[in-house]
Structure 1
C-alpha cells in the first residue's frame, strides 16, 4: 500500500509555456519585472509608458497563481533531479534514500511514527516485512508550473494600452460615481476582462487605490433576463445594478461592443471605453513576454501584415500560434490565421445575375474594398441588402460571394438556427446576439440573416404568438440599429416573402436596397449551368440544354449537374453535354408533342394581354419539357382599381386564350400557390379586404392573409369570383381582337420552343391595345389602337415592381399547362 507523507511541491509561475519561471517561496515571489514586496508608488502610477502598466497588472496577477481562470497548472520533474523509483517489496530502501529523508522525518516525526505503525500493521497482516523507513515520495521532486493563459495576456496588453497609466485606469473604473462600459470587441474576452478587473479592482491589496464598493459585472448580467421591464431604465436593471446606480457607487460593465448593449444600459449615458485593438507594437510586447529567451525584434515582426489585419487576431488563434517553440514560427502561424479570404475559384463575375441585381451587389463589394483601403469612411459604405426571391434563386450564395470578392468574413444565421439553441424568447435573442457578436469579432464581415419573414410582422392580426413576435422583432431592430454604427459589419437579409416582413425591419437605414431575384431566364441559364460545372466543359455550347432547363431554380440546376456527373461516373468516362441533356430529361420528362399547341396558346395569351394592357412587357415565352413559361417585367403602377383589374386579366389570359382557341380550359392555370389562379385570387381578395377598392373602404386584413378570409366568408367568395370573371372577360376581349396574331405566335412558339429578345418585340409590336374608356363600368366601352400608336403617346415605366400590390421576386412567370 502506497501513501504520500507530505505535500511539498515546488511552485513556479510563468506567463506562458515559454516564459521564464517565477519561483515561489513561502510568502515572497520574484518577478522578471519587479520584486513583489516592493509597493507601487504614486510616481510609478503616473508613468506614461503603457508597458509599465501592463507589467504592473501581470505582477498583480502573479500574486494569485492558483486562479484557474488566469493560469493553467503543469506538473513536471525538476530539470536537475531524477524522480526516484518506488522500491518493491523485494528491494530494501537504501541508506541514501534514508539519509535524503532524514531532515523531513525530523520535521514530521509524528507523521513518520504513524507511517511506521501502519507499516508494521500491514506487515503483520500481509506477512511482508515492513521497510525500515518511510517510502520516498516522488512528488517531492516535481515542479508545479502555473502558466498564464494567452487570452489573459492578450487582455492585459490591450487593457494597458487603452489606459496607458495607472491613474487613468483607476479613475475610469473606480473614480467617484464613475460609470463606464468597457468593450472588448471579442465575446471570448468578456469573461476574461470581467475576472481580470475583479482581481485588479476588488481583490488587489490597494495597489490601484480603488473604491471597495465598485459594482463590476458583465453588461448582460446587469439587466433582467426575462425581458420584462417596469420602467424605461431602472425597471430593466437587476436589483444589484439598480442599487449601485442609485447609491452612486462606481459601476463598471463589460460588453463586447456598444451595439450589443441593452437599451436600458445605453440610456445610462455611461462612458464607453473600447479596448485598444491589437497592433504590431502590442503583439511584439506580447511575444516578448511569451518568448523571453529569444529577442523579438523588428525583423521577426516583418512576417506580419498591416495593423488593420493584425487586429483580427482572436484569442483562440493566438493560443494555437503560441504553442510554437519560437517566435518566428508563432508569427508565421499568426499571419496564416489572419490572412484575407482567398479569391481563388469562380467569383461574382461568373455567377448568373440579371443587371438589376448585379449593380447593387457589385457596388457593395466596391464600397467594402474602398473602406478597407482607407479611401472612404464607413458612413459612406452601402447599408444592408435585402434579397427577395423564391427558394433556390441564389439568395444564400450572394452573401458568400460578396464576402469572397471583398476579402471579408461571413457569418450566417436564421430564426430557425437560433431557436434550436432554446425555444424561449430570451434564448433566441441570446443566440441572435451571439451571431452579431461573432460578426463583430470577425470584422470586416458580412452578417447574413436568412428567412427574415420568420421573425413575423407586428402588424398582423393578433394571435397567441403576437407578444413573442413583438419581443423578437424589437430585439432584432435594436441590434440592427446598433450595428449600423459598428464599423466593418454589413448586414444582408433574405426572404421568400417580402410582404411578410415587419415594415420597420425593411425600412431604409436598416436595409437600404431591396434586390429582387428570380430563377435564371433563357439568357442567364447557360451561365447558371457553367457555374455548377465549375470549369468542366468550358468550350461546349450549352444553349440547347439551357432552353430545356429554363424554369429550373439554381438548386435544381445544381441537382441536374450532379445527376449528369453520376451518369458519366457510371460509365467510367468524362462528362459530356449529352449527360446534361439526359439529366434534364430525367428530372423533367418531356411532355408529348400534342400538348405543345395548348401550351403555346396559353403562354402567348399572357404575352398579348400583358402587352395590350400596357402593364407588363414580355421578356420571353418558351415551351419547356415540363410545360411553358412567359417571363414578363411589370410596369410600376399607382394601384388604381382599373390597374388591379388589368393585372387580374393578365393572370387569367392563359385560361382565356385556351377557351377562345381550344374551346375549353385545362388545369394548367391552377394548382400550387404560385399558379395563375392562386395569384389572381389573392389579388382579388386583397382588392376587397386590404386596399379599399372593393365594396367597402374598410381594411380587414393584410394582402398575404386576405385569401384566408374566403374560407369563412361566403359573400367575399362571391365578390372575388365576380372580379375573376370580369378579368377573364377582359382578357378574352383583348385576345379576340388579336386572334390572328395569337395563333401566329403560338405556331411560331411550337416550332422554335423559345421566342425572346428582338424576335418577341417584333411580334408584340403588332398587338392591338384595348382600352376601357369608362373605368369601373360593368360593360366598358372598348377602343382598339395599335401598340405603335400607344407607344407614340405614352411611355411606360418598365422596371422592378416596388408597390405592395403583389409579393414579387423579379420578372413574373406564368406557367402553362403541364
Structure 2
C-alpha cells in the first residue's frame, strides 16, 4: 500500500486496500477527536491462499495507518514453552499493542487455533483453553481504544465461530490468486522494466494457480540463471517452469470424446432453450508435477434458480461424457465425472 504496485497487484489487493484506506481515514479521525472508537473497525479476518501477501499487507497497513505493528501467531507463542508460557506470550502481544496504540495486532495463521466443536482426544482440553484465552484477549482489545486486531488465515472455515462473531473479527476480506491479466502484471512489475514489449503469454498461461510470491520467485530465479548462463532472460524464466509432457494420442482422444459428448448431452437435453457458453480448455499437454486438467467450462449469465430442470441439465452433461467413453472406447476412465460430477450432482438433486 505504501509502495508502488503493479496493475496485477492493484487488482489482487483491491478489496484489502479499500478497507485499509478506510481504516487509515478512521484512525486519523479518531486521533483528531472527530469520531468515537466505537465507529472504527476493530477486528478483521484476512484470508487467502498461501503466498498471496497477507503478511506483507499487514506491514503496509500499519505504515499507511501510521500505527505500531505487533506480530503474533500460535506457533510463535507455543515456542515459549508449556501452556502457561504460551498464554503469557499471547497476553504479552496484546499488552504490547495496547501500550503502543494506535496499533495493528497481526495474528498470522489464526486458523491454527482451531474450532472447539471439532476438538477431541487428549489434546482437546489444551486446545479449548487456547481458544478461550484468545477470545478473552480479543474481548479485552475491544475495550482498549486504538488496537485493531487483524487475523490472517488460509482456511477461514476452520475457525471457531466465536472468533468471527459480531464484535470480534467480524469483517472478512479475501485475497484471491491472480488471474491471467493479474499474473502478467505481477511478472512485469518484478521484471523491473526488463523485457518491455516481450510476449509473456506462454509463461502466463503456464502459471495458472500461482501466487504472487511464486511469481516473484520465478522471476528471481530466472534472472539468476540468465546472469550465470549469459542467456536470454525470457528463456531462463521459461526454463524455471515445471516441465510439460505431451499427451499421448489415446489420452487426447478420450478427453475429446468425454468433453464433446458432455457438451452434446447438455445441448440435446435443453432442446431449444438458452444454451450456455462453452469454453474448451487447452489439454494438449500436462504438467510433469501433477495431473492435467481436461474440462469444458460452462458459464451462464445472471442468477439462476435451483430447479429440477437445472439439475437434469447437469446430469445429462456428466452422464453424456461417461456414456460416450463406454460406447466408443469400451470403458470409462477412472474418476470420470468424479466427486464434482455425477456423485455430487445426484446428491444435491431435489427429491
Q: Report the TM-score range of the alignment, normalised by the length of the smaller protein.
A: 0.7 to 0.9
Match of 2:93 in 1: 435
- Deviation track 1:365-396 (CA, whole Å, cap 9, x = no partner) reads 23213422535443323343322333334333
Unpaired stretches in structure 2, ≥5 consecutive residues: none
1:384 and 2:43 aligned: yes
1:528 and 2:186 aligned: yes
Q: Distance in 1 between matches of 2:212 and 2:258?
A: 26
- Deviation track 1:268-300 (CA, whole Å, cap 9, x = no partner) reads xxxxxxxxxxxxxxxxxxxxxxxxxxxxxxxxx
1:727 and 2:346 aligned: yes
Structure 1 residues 660 and 580: CA distance shift in structure 2, 3 A:
same
Pairs within 5 Å for 1:147-158:
none
Match of 2:239 in 1: 582
- Deviation track 1:774-798 (CA, whole Å, cap 9, x = no partner) reads x41xxxxxxxxxxxxxxxxxxxxxx
Q: Distance in 1 between matches of 2:161 and 2:100?
A: 29
Q: Distance in 1 between matches of 2:128 and 2:92?
A: 20
1:363 pairs with one of 9, 19, 23: 19
2:55 pairs with one of 392, 396, 400: 396
1:512 pairs with one of 152, 163, 170: 170
- Deviation track 1:399-441 (CA, whole Å, cap 9, x = no partner) reads 233234434343322211211111x222111111222233334
After TM superposition, give the deviation of residue 581 of structure 1 in Å.
Answer: 2.2
Q: Distance in 2 between matches of 1:617 and 1:474?
A: 50
After TM superposition, give the deviation of residue 518 of structure 1 in Å.
Answer: 3.2
Structure 1 residues 666 and 381: CA distance shift in structure 2, 3 A:
farther
Pairs within 5 Å for 1:520-599:
520-572=178-230, 576-584=233-241, 587-592=242-247, 594=249
Match of 1:781 in 2: none
Q: Secondary structure at the match of 1:464?
A: helix
- Deviation track 1:92-136 (CA, whole Å, cap 9, x = no partner) reads xxxxxxxxxxxxxxxxxxxxxxxxxxxxxxxxxxxxxxxxxxxxx
Contact 2:322/2:332, CA 8 A, preserved across alignment: yes
After TM superposition, give the deviation of residue 538 of structure 1 in Å.
Answer: 4.8
Contact 1:385/1:513, CA 8 A, preserved across alignment: yes
Pairs within 5 Å for 1:269-668:
343=2, 345-347=3-5, 351=9, 353-354=11-12, 358-372=14-28, 374=32, 376-422=35-81, 424-460=82-118, 462-572=120-230, 576-584=233-241, 587-592=242-247, 594=249, 621=281, 623=283, 625-626=286-287, 627-628=292-293, 657=321, 660=324, 663=329, 664-666=331-333
Q: Distance in 2 between matches of 1:461 and 1:617?
A: 45
With the length of structure 1 as denominator, give the TM-score of the two structures.
0.34
- Deviation track 1:743-771 (CA, whole Å, cap 9, x = no partner) reads xxxxxxxxxxxxxxxxxxxxxxxxxxxxx
Structure 1 residues 426 and 654: CA distance shift in structure 2, 3 A:
farther
Residue correspondences, number: 327
Q: Distance in 1 between matches of 2:244 and 2:205?
A: 14
Structure 1 residues 377 and 576: CA distance shift in structure 2, 3 A:
farther
After TM superposition, give the deviation of residue 488 of structure 1 in Å.
Answer: 3.0
Contact 1:388/1:496, CA 8 A, preserved across alignment: yes
Structure 1 residues 629 and 378: CA distance shift in structure 2, 3 A:
farther
Q: Secondary structure at the match of 1:459?
A: helix
Contact 1:602/1:657, CA 8 A, preserved across alignment: yes
After TM superposition, give the deviation of residue 602 of structure 1 in Å.
Answer: 6.7
Structure 1 residues 602 and 506: CA distance shift in structure 2, 3 A:
farther
Q: Secondary structure at the match of 2:122?
A: coil
Structure 1 residues 359 and 556: CA distance shift in structure 2, 3 A:
closer
**Higher RCO (Cα < 8 Å, 6 or more apart):** 2
Q: Secondary structure at the match of 1:523?
A: helix
Q: Secondary structure at the match of 1:346?
A: coil
Q: Secondary structure at the match of 1:390?
A: coil
Q: Distance in 1 between matches of 2:52 and 2:128?
A: 30
Contact 1:617/1:632, CA 8 A, preserved across alignment: yes
- Deviation track 1:552-573 (CA, whole Å, cap 9, x = no partner) reads 2334323322321222122246
Q: Distance in 2 between matches of 1:617 and 1:541?
A: 28
Q: Secondary structure at the match of 2:163?
A: coil
After TM superposition, give the deviation of residue 450 of structure 1 in Å.
Answer: 1.9
Pairs within 5 Å for 1:8-407:
343=2, 345-347=3-5, 351=9, 353-354=11-12, 358-372=14-28, 374=32, 376-407=35-66
With the length of structure 2 as denominator, give the TM-score of the two structures.
0.73
Q: Distance in 1 between matches of 2:299 and 2:135?
A: 33
- Deviation track 1:629-669 (CA, whole Å, cap 9, x = no partner) reads 7788999999x9979x959x69x977963653574444577
Between Structure 1 and Structure 2, the one with more helix by share is 2
After TM superposition, give the deviation of residue 576 of structure 1 in Å.
Answer: 2.8
Contact 1:348/1:405, CA 8 A, preserved across alignment: no
- Deviation track 1:661-683 (CA, whole Å, cap 9, x = no partner) reads 5744445779xxxxx63x78xxx
Match of 1:145 in 2: none
Give the root-mean-square deviation of aligned CA atoms. Answer: 4.4
Structure 1 residues 396 and 603: CA distance shift in structure 2, 3 A:
farther
Structure 1 residues 540 and 460: CA distance shift in structure 2, 3 A:
same
